[in-house]
Chain A
Amino acid sequence: MGEMNKQQPPKWINKILDWYCKEEYVGEIYGDLMELYDRWLEEGKFKANAKYVLNAILFMRLYNSRFNSGQNSNKIDMFKNYFKIGYRNLLRNKVYSAINISGLTVGMAITMFIGLWIKAELSYNTSHDNYDRIAQVIQHKTYNGDIRTNEAVPFPIGDELETKYGDYFKHVVMTGWTYDHILSHQNLRIIKKGNYMDVQAPDLLSLEMIKGTRAGLIDPHSILISESTAQSLFGDSDAMGQVMEVDNELTVKVTGIYKDLPSNSSFSDLHFIVPWDLYVSSYAWVTSAKERQAWDENSYQLFVQISDLATMADVSERIKNVKYDRLEENQKYSKPEMFLHPMSDWHLRSNWENGVKTGGLIQYVWLFGIIGIFVLTLACVNFMNLSTARSEKRAKEVGIRKSFGTLKRQLVQQFLCESLLVVFLAFLLAICLVAFITPYVGTMIGYEMDLPLNDLYFWLISIVFISITGFLAGSYPALYLSSLKPIKALKGTFKVGKTAVVFRRALVVFQFSVSVLLIIGTIVVLEQIQYTKDRPLGYNKDGVITIELSTSDFEGKYNLLRNELISSGGIVDMTESSSPMTQVENTNGGFSWQGKDPGFKPSFSIIYVTHDYGNTVNWELAKGRDFSRDISTDSTAYILNEAAVKYMGMENPVGQNMKWGRNDHKIIGVVKNMLMESPSKPVRPTIYIIDYIHNTNYITLKLNPDQSVRTSLGQVESVLNDIAPKVPFNPIFVDQEYSKKFEAEERVASLAGIFSILAIFISCLGLFGLASFVAEQRRKEIGIRKVLGATLLNLWKMLTSEFVVLVILSCLIASPIAYYALSSWLDNYEYHISISWWFFVVATISALAITLFTVSFHSIRAAKMNPAKSLRTE
């Protein structure tokens, strides 16, 4: 509390006070506020600041305003009058007011949402103190002229950077990959994601330690755990100093507990950290990578924090060849180039195409930002349209005000005040709307969002937002109405001018162009998703589960496990493989075959499998045969997929030999392509190889289809528990994993769908108001036409044709824009639909149908009116 005296209230509010208050009072007001501020500080700085600002604002009353000279100010009264007249007008025309306010409410709510979402996306990872100095070291590699970008780096690179380039880095942290591990303490076992990291990791990540210090990883048999891990493993007892096990193999002592990283951090799933040195000494393949100084094996990750004076670009340039220089001559063909990928780009800009950063999520940030502005503009357009359309009703008022000597400037002020009033009401409703539906939307966009109601900046931005919207909506009506000629207006000969009508039509066309654009966009995104979903899978994912093996408990027990599981009745078959069904984890080069072009450096995806793989996942053999236990040479045989055959350009692959390094391998079969990676990309050339020992990290089971999944899972779990009691059962359903691949696109589709529905809703509100206005204006004309024999159909046609023409025009404008924009979106996907004409037809027809529906309500009502009534008025 000794620092109290240094605390100062926000400066900006003092500046406003200075500007507002009479000089004679300003000093004592500051004094009083400061005295109270000193007391408020006891409740915390944030509260004190908020109270200070609030009380300062309350001081801005008329009596101490420097603009109040003591005499009655006409200005203030005029503003009061403007708001009063505006308020009365709102009440008088309830339908118009409702249309205006609800349209603006929806528009503003959407814009607020998008704003909040963008803020959340942009603040990703910023919870790390050294956000702008952290980077991941990753590499570009060139294969046959194709540059590929990969995060995996070789083992010796960490030491190399530290010893040779140490000046440029504050921290160099080698890590493994964050994935599920088994943590156990006494008899309790849980599965948590975690990683092996160098001792400096807690400093790099600026972990907030609850117990222990950031230096906790120095002891090689230590572990840092997150608060939630501590809670689930140790409950309420003190975790510090407790001994526990990782993957039933490593015995470690808890030397620190850190606060869980927030969900908007790339490390949010890092629930524990084990020292890198322990990893190196405990696992043979890592030890050997260290001993061999294996520069050609990319299996680890490297995170760095650059020193305070260095720049990302400069360091990138310097470390470019760090790996290349250490490779053997025959390994240099892929020309690896190391560089820094800054943390600020991880979340939003992490797509690479041929060595160039092509964006990523940032594109969606832009896209939705633009859509948000458009939707808000649509709502403003409604306001403009209805105000100018109704200007005849206000013309007399303008005439009278003008003849009393009102200046044009004052009229502009008046109408801007009115639009501000409407926008303000809409804003209040929009806040309620947003607060009400945020929780639902949060789940849809995969993000926790909340309304920062106690954030001062939110309110400041809101004020700016209200002013801009009010100005945008009110500027045209204000200028238009204030320029009316008083004589004409008072004589009653005033008619809405031609320019106003043209302008109004242009606005309607704009509204519907945006709506049609969004409709077409939604159709295309949905079609694209369906198209990729319909791709042949090449295997059967139903009832298939995968279990990741992070321990050696199942080693050498393959046959035992398989037999037990099958005889339990829970499964049909079982296999082990090196990649899960929805991913490919190994890619290798160094293959050759007869007839290969010597300059061609092929690389293949490699999947190590057991003999039962084909039967478990039901792959489809195109040529040749499956692996067989009866043929001993099959242990070195290859099965290729069709993509590999095409890649190699082989005519009759079955029976031919391939070489990997010096070893010969016989191709015994070809399977149809199995879609294991991105559904919008072609399947990569893949080789399936038998392996029971080294590389099989996943157990895949085909559950018994004749009984319920729950029964099967129960049987599987009990067998697994018998054979390896120390491993918790954590099955992953392949079909669920697979559908996750569509999440991003489906999110875009649902957002685009919602936006187009709302855009249409807003546009229709405007159209509805406009149609009712036109119908009312032409009441007498309709009456006379009816008397002269016009039918209902005639009148309906007359009243709707104008709008129909406008909507068709909108479709004509929107279609080419949509075609251009969506073609470039689809180009992001290698496997995509082509845009066909019926998308545009469907969009046009639905826009027309909605328009007719909206407009007809008023046209039919007007056309059905008794002419005697409409002609008798006045």
Chain B
Amino acid sequence: MKRVTIGEFEELCLLMVGVLYEDAYGVSVKDEIKNRTGRDVTISSIHSTLVRLEKKGLLKSYMGGANEIRGGRAKRIFEMTATGKQAINEARDLRNQLYTDIPKLVWEK
């Protein structure tokens, strides 16, 4: 299988889905990103990213949680797949490795 690569924003969304655990859907991810990073992203970009991640096999989803405010419509709740977890682990390892490999001199300058 082809190795799946993920972009910066995709990684952010993936992490948020992890953070939100059982309550990860479009609006909550949008709010979480706004709260944690200050980035105001349109709901449609979030949705398209989540759907893309699902197609890449990093996320899976099920329907649930309709209420009055949503006009009686269900949410699509996302959760991470094993591949997804692996992908953020790899990204993290790579980042840590690179961080530790930065020569000490860089910090002292």
A interface, CB within 8 angstroms of B: 5, 25, 27-36, 38, 55, 58-59, 61, 63-64
Partner among B42, B45, B71 whose Cβ is within 8 Å of the Cβ of A31: B71
Given known pairs A63-B48, A63-B51, A63-B52, the reply for A31 and B73 (CB within 8 Å) is yes
B interface, CB within 8 angstroms of A: 25-27, 42-45, 47-48, 51-52, 63, 66, 68-71, 73-76
Partner among A27, A29, A35 whose Cβ is within 8 Å of the Cβ of B47: A29
B44 touches A30 (CB 8 A): no
Ordered nearest first, which 3 A-B pairs have the shortest CB separation? Answer: A31-B73, A31-B70, A58-B44
Instruction: Give me 30 A-to-B residue pairs in the complex whose CB atoms sit less than 8 angstroms apart, sorted by A's number.
Output: A25-B76, A27-B63, A27-B73, A27-B74, A28-B25, A28-B73, A28-B75, A30-B71, A30-B73, A31-B66, A31-B70, A31-B71, A31-B74, A32-B25, A32-B26, A32-B70, A32-B75, A33-B43, A34-B69, A34-B70, A35-B69, A35-B70, A55-B42, A58-B43, A58-B44, A61-B44, A61-B48, A63-B48, A64-B47, A64-B51
How near does chain B come to A318, taking the closest CB pair, in angstroms? 51
A58 touches B42 (CB 8 A): yes
A38 touches B69 (CB 8 A): yes
How near does chain B come to A46, taking the closest CB pair, in angstroms? 19
How near does chain A come to B20, taking the closest CB pair, in angstroms? 15
Cβ-closest chain A residue relative to B71:
A34
Cβ-closest chain A residue relative to B70:
A31
In the complex, chain B residues whose CB is within 8 Å of the CB of A64: 47-48, 51
How far does the alpha carbon of A32 sit from the alpha carbon of B25 in the complex, in Å? 9
Partner among A25, A27, A38, A55 whose Cβ is within 8 Å of the Cβ of B43: A55
In the complex, chain B residues whose CB is within 8 Å of the CB of A58: 42-45
User: Which of A25, A32, A58, A64 has the most CB atoms of chain B within a 10 A radius of its CB?
Assistant: A32
User: Which of A5, A25, A35 has the most CB atoms of chain B within a 10 A radius of its CB?
Assistant: A35
Cβ-closest chain A residue relative to B52:
A63
Partner among B27, B52, B63 whose Cβ is within 8 Å of the Cβ of A35: B27
How near does chain A come to B62, taking the closest CB pair, in angstroms? 11
How far does the alpha carbon of A32 sit from the alpha carbon of B46 in the complex, in Å? 11
In the complex, chain B residues whose CB is within 8 Å of the CB of A35: 27, 69-70
How near does chain A come to B23, taking the closest CB pair, in angstroms? 13
Q: Is the interface of A mostly helix, strand, loop or mixed?
A: helix
How far does the alpha carbon of A31 sit from the alpha carbon of B71 in the complex, in Å? 6
How far does the alpha carbon of A521 sit from the alpha carbon of B8 in the complex, in Å? 66
In the complex, chain A residues whose CB is within 8 Å of the CB of B42: 55, 58
Given known pairs A55-B42, A63-B52, the reply for A32 and B71 (CB within 8 Å) is no
In the complex, chain B residues whose CB is within 8 Å of the CB of A36: 27, 43
- Known A28-B76, A30-B71, A32-B26; 9 more pairs at CB < 8 Å: A30-B73, A31-B71, A31-B74, A34-B71, A36-B43, A58-B42, A59-B43, A63-B48, A64-B48
B69 touches A59 (CB 8 A): no
How far does the alpha carbon of A31 sit from the alpha carbon of B70 in the complex, in Å? 4
How far does the alpha carbon of A34 sit from the alpha carbon of B69 in the complex, in Å? 7
Partner among A28, A33, A59 whose Cβ is within 8 Å of the Cβ of B74: A28
A34 touches B73 (CB 8 A): yes
Cβ-closest chain B residue relative to A57:
B44
B44 touches A55 (CB 8 A): yes
A31 touches B43 (CB 8 A): no
Given known pairs A35-B69, A63-B52, the reply for A28 and B26 (CB within 8 Å) is yes
How near does chain B come to A507, taking the closest CB pair, in angstroms? 45
How far does the alpha carbon of A33 sit from the alpha carbon of B47 in the complex, in Å? 11
In the complex, chain B residues whose CB is within 8 Å of the CB of A32: 25-27, 43, 47, 70, 75
How near does chain A come to B31, taking the closest CB pair, in angstroms? 10
